[in-house]
């Protein structure tokens, strides 16, 4: 297998796992968080700044890179790693989520999906084969199968049909991969909140020798308890010797809940998106830097953090940068927010190692008051 | 003196000088270029990225920092160096130029200038004493006298009155400096294109023991030949043992012309401002990165450049970032443009050292075809 997963330790009190993924580009300790670099850049950061947060893998978006600059342009550049000057691992999504969340007017057929570009309205067509062809051009370490991501809620009848198609698409995508020796491929488990459909999807997709499995269709507006319920009944049907990736989840409470249910990998635009709006994730909760209370606060953003931002700048300076609409605000807060999550993952891994995961989870929940919130951070 | 200037060598064929300025924070080889950090940050760059271009001194804008975050906020932070995490030298302007270029509706009296804020329209008053008080709070290594910057063209009658007031203001500012042991102060020579008024201003201001002298009121719309003419008849009336600073000039041709006429220091928003619009200064002229011709150009921005951007990225990638409206475009092109000018200054210093300044100037002019352009870059 191109992607090697080693299960190092199982938490005795939950489904949490300590592991290690080896890709052609880096070794990734799991559970891990992947910053998102949608358009071939983690917004407002150089690759060196991303690496300094200790991220070992980032995510690139197939839909965006396909439409701009075009996958052939990236391929001719020598692949996405070289194009964007990032030498650690890259995971690419399939484009499926964006087709169903961003694009206007879509027409789903067995062959694939016809839809309109989210900005210029031009007509586009994406299929399981084309998704893999694009990802082969990008040269990511880990690719995703092209799937349908149905909205929440969807009827059982629709979900059954959709998941059958997603399974057929997964098989077609697997066959289409031209770089089996250099690029890994994950299958995506769909099925909404329906236990039997999720399990059926697991059973069918685990017949295909994917390098890992993603849980899709969560964090699409469903209540938090449904997300946890779905994970609880799904991960037991996934192989122990392959990594499990919960797509689009990046808030600390949801990460802890998912790790507890056997998830190894996470990605989310949350840390960089809220940073661009002047919001920081800190050990004392979310901070809105534009708030006047920080005008003369000459202390670091987060006294428990050792990131570049917290070591060198004060809240007063960040407040000023946000008010003055300076780009450096996005850079500094993005660095902090990513490192905040990377540090959380480090704490999680440490706690699994020490058989203290449950205590660690409770301490973070208590500290952030997460039990009282539907959406933490 | 707080600011020490050593004249290391005079070019035998022109007024060009090789020198070294020592401030409380760094040693600056001259002729030098100073990147502009208007609001306490060189836009889109961390201080480390600025330092990597080999810049030894940056400029901060008194007007901007006074109105946001306020000079007292910066003072309480421990001064501008600490606030923005920049440990080399800082030069601050007086606010005068912004009052006359940015502000709406102004009323100039002997006491100072009343005007409206350029964004929120609030009523403000700035005087020679207040300008120095603000700069004392900021803690810059080199401060500027508060001056009137008359537009081009101005009548002889107006210019005479204005310069007399600027001279009186310079004396008041000099007296107002509370940090004579830690902050240097430059006088500003005004007088438009009138030779006798410029010389009179030099004579009066050199009676005051300023740490250096700035040439103001150029690059305000006058033809290039007037700028050169003014420099030619002004710098001979400035002391040899103090640095000379031409404010607001940053295009290669104008820098070379001014060095030839005895100028040691330059600043300009040009490299960072055009970077934010996707324009690069290169050894083969100005490049507009959005241009479709760069879509698949997998070569560095400037093959003669050794900056972080040119070492790690291609024009195709920069083209993509500009088209995708990614902040990293501003960062990478700003790094390149600043280093392009820092490298030019290095070449100028080397040529003065080797008695080849005239040849160097001609080679740059020929290379960029500067003789054919009114405005280079």
Task: Quote the pLDDT of residue B220.
Answer: 87
Q: Identify how many contiguous H helices and E strands chain A contains and give both numbers.
A: 15, 16
Residue A285: helix, strand or coil by DSSP?
Answer: strand
From the list A372, A294, A301, the residue with the least C-alpha distance to A340 is A301
CB distance B41–A85 less than 8 Å?
A: no
* Whole-number Å distance between alpha carbons of A353 and A356: 8
Q: Of A11, A93, A141, A376, which is the active-site residue? A: A93
Residues of B that are catalytic: 93, 267
pLDDT in tens, A304-321: 999 999 999 999 999 999
A314 and A195: one domain? no
Segment among A31-35, A63-67, A367-371 with least mean pLDDT = A367-371
A26 and A152: one domain? yes
Bridge partners for B270 per DSSP: none
A207 and A347: one domain? no
From the list B238, B309, B247, B237, the residue with the least C-alpha distance to B278 is B309
What end-to-end distance do the CA atoms of chain B give, in Å?
37
* Whole-number Å distance between alpha carbons of B154 and A225: 73
Residue B81: helix, strand or coil by DSSP?
Answer: helix
Q: Taking a C-beta distance cutoff of 8 angstroms, is the pair A213, A170 a contact?
A: no
Measured between CB atoms, which of A69, A295, A332 is closest to B69?
A295
Measured between CB atoms, which of B41, B73, B77 is closest to A321?
B41
| Chain A residues near any Cβ of chain B (below 8 Å) | 39-41, 43-46, 64, 68-69, 73, 76-78, 83-85, 295-296, 298, 308, 312-314, 316-317, 319-321, 323-324, 326-328, 330-332
* Whole-number Å distance between alpha carbons of A224 and B199: 76
Q: What is the DSSP letter of A178?
A: S
Q: Which residues of A touch B316 (CB under 8 A)?
A: 69, 73, 77, 83
Distances (CA, A) of B9 to A42, B13, B257, B356: 47, 12, 18, 12
CB proximity list for A90: less than 8 A, separation 6 or greater: A25, A37, A57, A58, A59, A60, A80, A81, A138, A139, A140, A141, A142
Region for A227 from its dihedrals, namely left if φ exceeds 0, alpha if ψ lies in -120 to 50, beta otherwise: alpha
A72 and A95: one domain? yes
CA angle in degrees (0–180, nearest 5) for A204-A209-A211: 115
Q: Taking a C-beta distance cutoff of 8 angstroms, is the pair B108, B115 a contact?
A: no
Question: What is the tally of structural domains in chain A?
Answer: 2
Decide which of B268, B300, B318 is a domain's last residue. B268
* Whole-number Å distance between alpha carbons of B347 and B341: 10
A222 and A194: one domain? yes
CB atoms within 10 A of CB A142: 29
In the predicted structure, residue A348 carries a pLDDT above the cut 70: yes
DSSP string, B345-377: HHHHHHHHHTT-HHHHHHHHHHHHTGGG-SS--
Residues in chain B: 377
* Whole-number Å distance between alpha carbons of A323 and B199: 43
Q: Chain A closest CA to B72's CA: distance in Å? A: 10
Give a yes or no: residue B96 inside a domain: yes
A94 and A240: one domain? yes
A261 and A285: one domain? no
CB distance B41–A331 less than 8 Å?
A: no
Measured between CB atoms, which of B41, B316, B328 is closest to A326?
B41
The token pair at A45 is 């950061």
Q: Taking a C-beta distance cutoff of 8 angstroms, is the pair A225, A244 a contact?
A: no
Report the chain B residue with the minimal C-alpha distance to residue A290.
B69
Give a yes or no: residue B53 inside a domain: no
Give a yes or no: residue B375 inside a domain: no
Give a yes or no: residue B251 inside a domain: yes
The token pair at A227 is 């997300």
In the predicted structure, residue A373 carries a pLDDT above the cut 70: no
Measured between CB atoms, which of A41, A64, A77 is closest to B298?
A77
The token pair at B297 is 């150009």
In the predicted structure, residue A164 carries a pLDDT above the cut 60: yes
The token pair at A329 is 């605000």
Residue B87: helix, strand or coil by DSSP?
Answer: coil
CB proximity list for B343: less than 8 A, separation 6 or greater: B305, B306
Measured between CB atoms, which of B43, B314, B327 is closest to A43?
B327
Measured between CB atoms, which of A44, A46, A328 is closest to B41?
A328
Distances (CA, A) of B82 to A90, A268, A308: 37, 34, 15
* Whole-number Å distance between alpha carbons of A3 and A213: 12
| Cβ contacts from A onto B, under 8 A | 109
Dihedrals phi, psi of A209, to nearest 5 degrees:
-75, 65
ipTM of the complex: 0.97
Give a yes or no: residue A363 inside a domain: no
- Residue that wins the pLDDT comparison between A120 and A84: A84
CB atoms within 10 A of CB B57: 25
In the predicted structure, residue A300 carries a pLDDT above the cut 60: yes
User: Is residue A267 among the annotated active site residues?
Assistant: yes
Report the chain B residue with the minimal C-alpha distance to residue A311.
B85
A219 and A315: one domain? no
B288 and B264: one domain? no
Q: Chain B closest CA to A36's CA: distance in Å? A: 14
Give a yes or no: residue A51 inside a domain: no
Test the A interface: residue of B36, B44, B69 with most A CBs within 10 Å: B69
Q: Chain A closest CA to B338's CA: distance in Å? A: 17
Task: Quote the pLDDT of residue B372.
Answer: 59
- The separation between CA A75 and the C-alpha centre of its own chain, rounded to angstroms, equals 23
Q: Chain B closest CA to A8's CA: distance in Å? A: 36
Q: What is the largest CA-CA distance in chain B?
A: 60
Q: Chain B closest CA to A115's CA: distance in Å? A: 21
Task: Quote the pLDDT of residue A61.
Answer: 98
CB proximity list for B292: less than 8 A, separation 6 or greater: none
Task: Quote the pLDDT of residue B104.
Answer: 75
Task: Quote the pLDDT of residue A370.
Answer: 79
Measured between CB atoms, which of B46, B64, B328 is closest to A328?
B46
Test the A interface: residue of B35, B41, B44, B87 with most A CBs within 10 Å: B41
Decide which of A241, A268, A295 is a domain's last residue. A268
Strand pairing category for B212-215 and B17-22: unpaired
Distances (CA, A) of A298 to A279, B76, B137: 17, 8, 16
Measured between CB atoms, which of B84, B316, B326 is closest to A317?
B84
CB distance B295–A327 less than 8 Å?
A: no
Decide which of B222, B244, B268 is a domain's last residue. B268
Q: Of all residues in chain A, what percent are helix, strand and coil, respectively (each to 5)?
A: 45, 20, 40
A155 and A281: one domain? no
Q: Which residues of A touch B328 (CB under 8 A)?
A: 41, 43-46
Task: Quote the pLDDT of residue A83.
Answer: 98
The token pair at B38 is 């208007």
- The owner of tokens 């209540």 is A223
Handedness of CA B344, B349, B353, B356 (dihedral sign): positive
Q: Chain B closest CA to A320's CA: distance in Å? A: 6
Give a yes or no: residue B300 inside a domain: yes
Q: Chain A closest CA to B96's CA: distance in Å? A: 20
* Whole-number Å distance between alpha carbons of A140 and A132: 11
Q: Of A141, A147, A267, A376, which is the active-site residue? A: A267
What residue numbers bound the domain in which B121 lies?
Answer: 4-30+61-268
Q: Which residues of A touch B321 (CB under 8 A)?
A: 39-41
Bridge partners for B187 per DSSP: B213
Q: Taking a C-beta distance cutoff of 8 angstroms, is the pair B366, B30 a contact?
A: no
The token pair at B6 is 């050593």
Give a yes or no: residue B113 inside a domain: yes
B235 and B264: one domain? yes
A243 and A301: one domain? no
Dihedrals phi, psi of B179, to nearest 5 degrees:
-120, 50
Test the B interface: residue of A328, A329, A330 with most B CBs within 10 Å: A328
Q: Which residues of B touch A335 (CB under 8 A)?
A: none
CB proximity list for A213: less than 8 A, separation 6 or greater: A186, A187, A188, A189, A202, A205, A206, A238, A239, A242, A243, A244, A245
| Chain B residues near any Cβ of chain A (below 8 Å) | 39-41, 43-46, 64, 68-69, 73, 76-78, 83-85, 295-296, 298, 308, 312-314, 316-317, 319-321, 323-324, 326-328, 330-332
Residue B126: helix, strand or coil by DSSP?
Answer: strand
* Whole-number Å distance between alpha carbons of B230 and B272: 27
pLDDT in tens, B255-303: 999 999 999 999 999 999 999 999 999 998 899 999 999 999 999 999 9
Give per-10-residue mean pLDDT for chain B (377 aa): 97 97 98 98 98 98 98 98 98 93 87 93 95 98 96 95 98 98 98 97 98 95 92 98 97 96 98 98 94 98 97 98 98 98 98 98 88 63
Q: Which residues of A touch B43 (CB under 8 A)?
A: 326-328
Q: What is the largest CA-CA distance in chain A?
A: 60
* Whole-number Å distance between alpha carbons of B227 and B153: 12
CATH of the domain at B231: 3.20.20.105
Report the chain A residue with the minimal C-alpha distance to residue B85.
A312
Q: What is the DSSP letter of A256?
A: H
CB proximity list for B144: less than 8 A, separation 6 or greater: B62, B91, B92, B93, B94, B96, B131, B135, B185, B186, B188, B214
Task: Quote the pLDDT of residue A100.
Answer: 86
* Whole-number Å distance between alpha carbons of A49 and A317: 19
CB distance A77–B314 less than 8 Å?
A: yes
């Amino acid at each position: 297998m191109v992607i090697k997963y080693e299960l190092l330790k199982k938490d005795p009190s939950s489904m949490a796992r300590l592991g290690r993924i080896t890709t052609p580009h880096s070794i990734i300790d799991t559970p891990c968080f992947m910053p998102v670099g949608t358009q071939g850049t983690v917004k407002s950061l150089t690759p060196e700044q991303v690496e300094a947060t200790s991220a070992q893998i980032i995510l690139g978006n197939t839909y965006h890179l396909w439409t701009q600059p075009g996958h052939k342009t990236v391929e001719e550049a020598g692949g996405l790693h070289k194009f964007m000057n990032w030498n650690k691992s890259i995971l690419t999504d399939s484009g499926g989520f964006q087709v169903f969340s961003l694009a206007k007017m879509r027409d789903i057929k067995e062959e694939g999906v016809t839809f309109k570009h989210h900005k210029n309205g031009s007509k586009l067509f994406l299929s399981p084969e084309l998704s893999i062809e694009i990802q082969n051009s990008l040269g990511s370490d880990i690719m995703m199968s092209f799937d349908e991501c149905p909205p929440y809620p969807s009827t059982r009848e629709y979900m059954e049909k959709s998941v059958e198609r997603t399974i057929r698409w997964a098989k077609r995508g697997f066959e289409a991969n031209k770089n089996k020796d250099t690029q890994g491929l994950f299958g995506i488990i769909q099925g909404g909140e329906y236990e039997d459909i999720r399990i059926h999807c697991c059973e069918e997709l685990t017949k295909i020798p994917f390098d890992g499995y993603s849980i899709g269709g969560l964090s699409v507006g469903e209540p938090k308890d449904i997300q946890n319920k779905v994970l609880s009944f799904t991960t037991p049907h996934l192989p122990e010797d392959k990594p499990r990736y919960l797509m689009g989840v990046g808030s600390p409470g949801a990460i802890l809940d998912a790790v507890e249910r056997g998830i190894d990998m996470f990605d989310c635009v949350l840390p960089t998106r809220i940073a661009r709006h002047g919001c920081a994730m800190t050990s004392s909760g979310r901070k809105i830097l534009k708030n006047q209370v920080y005008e003369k606060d000459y202390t670091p953003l987060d006294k428990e953090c050792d990131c570049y931002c917290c070591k060198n700048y004060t809240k007063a300076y960040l407040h000023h940068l946000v008010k003055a609409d300076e780009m450096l605000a996005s850079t500094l807060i993005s660095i902090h927010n990513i490192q905040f999550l990377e540090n959380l993952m480090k704490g999680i891994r440490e706690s699994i190692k020490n058989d203290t995961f449950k205590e660690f989870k409770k301490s973070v929940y208590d500290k952030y008051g997460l039990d009282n919130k539907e959406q933490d951070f």
